[in-house]
Amino acid sequence: MPDTALQIDRTMLPRSLGGALTRGISGKCPRCGGTHLFRKLLKPVDRCRMCGQNWSIQTADDFPPYIAILLTGHLMAPVIILLGLSPAVPEWAMMLIVVTLAASLIAAILQPAKGGVIALQWWLGLQGFAGHAGKAEAGVS
Ligand SMILES: [Zn+2]
């Protein structure tokens, strides 16, 4: 599969890393922002249907789960402390609440984290995007 994407109007490209990250985190194509980046929960589309960008060359690997675990841990810490200090909450209920909340948070954060990592790789021209950095295409140094 060739790595070349379709030529698009430069105004469709994000103007900054923040713009690319916003598109990726929201599940949109970081390059054109016009369509979905994922075809399944954590499986990106092979190519963007609008701009033709090849997303099969991304290598987010384990970074999105690290982000999800880090954020979940920081969000859950105060909840765990409050539940632990409350004598009215039995241990079994605390475990049920903590496990359910933690699993839900991780599931909710994983796709946005992966979209953000893919956008970061594309913008900076990392891994499979080497030589095709988004910031170079957008004319941002
Ligand atoms: Zn696109």
What are the pLDDT digits (tens) for 83-100? Answer: 999 999 999 999 999 999
H helices present in the chain, as ranges:
17-25, 63-85, 91-124, 134-137
Residue 53 in domain: yes
Residue 97 backbone dihedrals phi, psi, to 5 degrees:
-65, -45
Q: Which two tokens stand for residue 36?
A: 């979905």
pTM value is 0.90
Question: Ligand 1 centre from 67 Cα, in Å?
Answer: 24
Distance 89 CA to ligand 1 centre (A): 49
What residues does the ion ligand 1 have nearby, CB within 5 Å?
A: 29, 31-32, 48, 50-51, 53
Residue 23 CA to ligand 1 center (angstroms) comes to: 10
Q: Residue-wise pLDDT tens for the chain (141 aa)?
A: 445 678 888 889 999 999 999 999 999 999 999 999 999 999 999 999 999 999 999 999 999 999 999 999 999 999 999 999 999 999 999 999 999 999 999 999 999 999 999 999 999 999 889 988 999 988 887
Q: What is the pLDDT of residue 9?
A: 82
Whether residue 113 lies inside any domain: the answer is yes
Q: Is residue 102 part of a domain?
A: yes
The reply to whether 1 falls in a domain is no
What's the 29 CA to ligand 1 centre distance in angstroms? 5
CA distance 84 to 68: 23
Amino acid 115: pLDDT: 98
CA–centroid distance, residue 136 to ligand 1 (Å): 16
**CA 8 / ligand 1 centre spacing (Å):** 9
- Residue 37: inside a domain: yes
Residue 53: name the closest of 11, 8, 23 by CA: 8
Q: Which residue segment(s) compose the domain that 60 sits in?
A: 10-137
Sign of the Cα pseudo-torsion (86, 90, 95, 100, in order): negative
Domain membership of residue 54 (yes or no) is yes
Those residues whose C-beta lies under 8 Å from the C-beta of residue 67, and which sit 6 or more positions away, are 109, 113, 116, 117
Number of structural domains in the chain = 1
